[in-house]
Amino acid sequence: MPHRNRMRVVFHGAVVLLVGLLCGMPTVPEQEPMRLWHTAHESLILIGILLLAMSSVLPVLELERREAEGLVWSLLATGYGLMTGLIIQGVTGVHAFGPSTSPLRMLAFVGNATGMLGSVLTAALTLMGARAARVTEVARAPAI
């Protein structure tokens, strides 16, 4: 995997992490409507950490070029899709788990859906790359 892809994931992981940390600021009053901000804060921090951790895993995965590009873009879709959905939910105070007639809630739903689909694709491509790397490693091992 090209080094630029790894650095892209590191950079965007840091952006998502920073936004997650900033989402903690509205939670200071600790009032009940802040629950969605807590969710955005905690979730985006975890997603940012996931992106940073995945940047360390990328070099050992054995993926074709298109699969590797797909993994990088699915990581970014996960981070930015969920960032969009979670922040809009925090601002509006309403969950967006389904389509809506409200344009803002629909945008949040699309963000959530993009993030969830990106995370499933991330997991699948990571498993594919790890399995291929494992098969290659076993094939290279000297026979005893």
Residue pLDDT, tens place only, 98-134 = 999 999 999 999 999 999 999 999 999 999 999 999 9
**The pair of three-digit structure tokens given for residue 51, joined into one six-digit string:** 């992106």
How many Å apart are CA 87 and CA 94, to the nearest integer?
Answer: 11
Cα Rg, the chain, nearest whole Å? 18
Per-residue model confidence as pLDDT tens digits over 49-80:
999 999 999 999 999 999 999 999 999 999 99
**What is the pLDDT at residue 30?**
62
Is residue 59 within 8 Å of 20, Cβ to Cβ?
A: no
pLDDT of 94 > 80? The answer is yes
Token match 């098969």: residue?
135
Q: Which domain holds residue 20?
A: 3-140
Phi and psi (nearest 5°) for 100? -145, 160
Question: Which pLDDT band holds residue 32 (cuts at 50, 70, 90)?
Answer: low
**What is the pLDDT at residue 24?**
86
**What is the pLDDT at residue 1?**
73
**What is the pLDDT at residue 117?**
97
pLDDT of 93 > 90? The answer is no
- Count of other CB atoms within 10 angstroms of residue 65: 9
**Average confidence (pLDDT) over 4-27:** 92
Question: Which pLDDT band holds residue 27 (cuts at 50, 70, 90)?
Answer: confident
Q: How many percent of the chain have pLDDT more than 90?
A: 72
**The pair of three-digit structure tokens given for residue 32, joined into one six-digit string:** 């009940």
Number of H helices, E strands in the chain: 4, 0
**What is the pLDDT at residue 53?**
96
**Mean pLDDT for the chain overall:** 92
Domain count, the chain: 1
